[in-house]
Structure 1
């Protein structure tokens, strides 16, 4: 496949290939698995880490052709191909989308992908999310997120003292944005530097997960450490494309658009000596198979594993007295 030429500026239309399921090859790069034979995620993450190092050595513009050859070879390795083949797009669609993302990549201050290697790492690790939830429906529009009975209103829970974590909403007006800017100038480190939640809604299982992590974090850190801070939850695909147009590394498909992903602040906790503690807690849950974790710099992306859904739904109901 020929890599699309790098664009000198914004492109019209969606920034990635169609997210509709792509017809798969008659034979995948790996032997066809049974439905119960899930890919080895430990091997996948290790293979992605090795691939990212190699991409970093070929990140300069003259190495475009060599980088494509490297990706063609490494993506077909069993550990990686098994996950990509199990995503809704299949191996071919996932591979082509990654190549297109790389061809159009333009670094900017808003993006969590600080360089090309970060883009590759974030994209490939986030494919675990969409593999896990490949049969879940996507929230296509803002209206679907705001009107879904599968999501609960965080503000309703917060006012009743049922949330162990904090968040802030995006200002909805010019006045609100102005007040937020003044607050940041006066108290620059009082809260994380984040735009806030566009949608203050989340799946019940995600609320239970975040409450659980927040309790564990509070026990593991000194008195005075701020509670867990959540920067993003459920989003619509409509908003995902909006973020892409603004320069954010918002992947498509995304666990956020399925309602099973969240982003939590990490960098801000360095000033409290708690950043590494939180990172360790999250990685321990990943090792236990409960979540997928993607280091995106300032914030870390989390996605709930399907195997943990039932336990967390029961935990939510117990906490809410249902």
Structure 2
């Protein structure tokens, strides 16, 4: 199992255009992803890295027209077009969405897209996720996430010491938020600075992946390093739109809303001298074709590849006994 880019809460949405019927089980091997037809992802990532250099050079406020011309040209290059055309939106839809995201972009402290170049990187590299899982069903609402039989309760597993990673939940009350704020003031670096999970649920295959990475990281990191931390797991499309309204770089469609993507804390591990070790573990898994990774700064976005799901489902059943 094994790159990020080489480069540098409210009412339900009335309509989620990219959503498939809720609760439809995703095929373990999507039929459109036959090995012979799959785009060259190394070439795609290289082409995206080259594009980002040019986008960065045109980052000025007066370069909007030049950026649009650049995007029009570069997205039609074979290495990039092959991936975008294999998504449900297709090349044209992906282009229009990216241009709209760029036009609407405003930097803010909540967003992992610290600048326009980061926004383009996050969007384009996350398209690998939606290409892989374009036939998967979206969790449209919070209720879909809470009641889906495809997801397991992490707290049940944690209490039985069956998890090799950590997480925290979002405080649900004023008292809870106060306790969280006090703890951060008294012990500011004891845990990563994260809002926490709204949903403590995950696919079995994702649990197996995180347990594997957690074990490898514990063995590779310096003594005294904190355990693997997960800052985001499955999200509903409803919640994804909440995050967008709050200013987060929450892309749509998203692997999070399909249950196949997670965010893993990275920045916190610098204090242990362990960030590079975790990065290498994740990059190795990407090179092996098991995950897609997107560097989002404080956290890295990780999406499981369809080719790895069967082995990880078996690993979960062997480890958990079900």
SS at match of 2:37: coil
State the partner residue of 2:9: none
Counterpart-to-counterpart distance in 1, 2:132 and 2:38: 9
Aligned pairs for 1:123-272 (under 5 A) are: 123-272=123-272
Shift of 1:224: 1.2
How many Å separate the matches in 2 of 1:72 and 1:60? 18
- Measured in 2, the distance between the counterparts of 1:259 and 1:210 equals 14
Whole-angstrom CA distance in 2 between matches of 1:152 and 1:223: 31
Count residues in correspondence. 298
Task: Check 1:176–1:229 CA distance in 2 against 1; reply closer, same or farther (3 A cut).
Answer: same
Partner residue in 1 for 2:28: none
Q: Is there any run of 5+ residues in structure 2 with no aligned partner, and where?
A: 1-11, 21-31
For the aligned residue pairs, the C-alpha RMSD in angstroms reads 1.7
Report what 2:8 is aligned to.
Answer: none
Secondary structure of the equivalent of 1:110?
coil
Cα distance in 1 for partners of 2:136, 2:298 equals 28
Q: CA deviation at 1:34?
A: 8.9
Partners in 2 of 1:301 and 1:136 — Cα distance? 19
Give 4+ residue runs of structure 1 displaced > 6 Å after superposition. Answer: none
| TM norm structure 1 | 0.90
Supply the distance in 2 between the matched residues of 1:290 and 1:307 (Cα, whole angstroms).
7
Give the TM-score normalised by structure 2: 0.90
- Distance in 1 separating the partners of 2:141 and 2:288: 33
Greater relative contact order (Cα < 8 A, sep 6+): 2
Alignment of 1:84-95 (within 5 A): 84-95=84-95
Cα deviation per residue 1:78-99 (whole Å; 9 max; x = unaligned)? 0000000000111111110000
Q: Are 1:199 and 1:235, in contact at CA under 8 Å, matched by a contact in 2?
A: yes
Counterpart CA distance in 2 for 1:50 and 1:20 is 32
Instruction: Return closer, same or farther for 1:270/1:246 CA change in 2, 3 Å cut-off.
Output: same
For residues 175-202 of structure 1, the C-alpha deviation after alignment (integer angstroms, 9 at most, x for no partner) is 1111101100000000000000010000
